[in-house]
Amino acid sequence: MTIAKGDKLPDVTLVKVTPDGPEKVSSAEYFAGKKVALFAVPGAFTPTCSAKHLPGYVEKAAELKAKGVDEIACTAVNDAFVLGAWNKSGGSDDITMLADGNADFASALGLDADFSGFGMGKRSQRYSIIVNDGVVEEVNVEGPGEFKVSSAEHMLGQL
């Protein structure tokens, strides 16, 4: 079953990218007590993710925070080292990278996808979620090959 508005996020271990290296974090603890603009990409360094998705959140970070977002987070089914390198190459300190290396979080949300046809295995669908104290306020899941509702611009309109 796919996560929906009003649902509490499942508690899954993610790996947060920090300046001191990877740090395991419980999703329940990470999302507690704050409003988070979360977006997910199928993979770091992939075309749409690198050309549009991440740059949009970097560009709109100040606007999102001005509308009450405490933190902006990106998750992908990649390891923390890949997400850290991706954030250094095209991201920003305004974006927290949360590695979901085994797709446990994507699966728990019901938003995992099979990208085996592209040689990428199990991944996350492209989506964005506004999370307030661990509860989903908005969820936006893209159709296959699309990039519209998970954008920073769309999310700004929801805040």
DSSP assigned state of 103: S
> What radius of gyration do the chain's Cα atoms show?
14
Whether 49 is catalytic: yes
Choosing from 12, 17, 41, 49, which is the catalytic residue?
A: 49
Q: Please, which residues have CB within 8 angstroms of residue 35's CB and are 6 or more apart in sequence?
A: 68, 69, 70, 71, 130, 131, 132, 133
Catalytic residues: 49
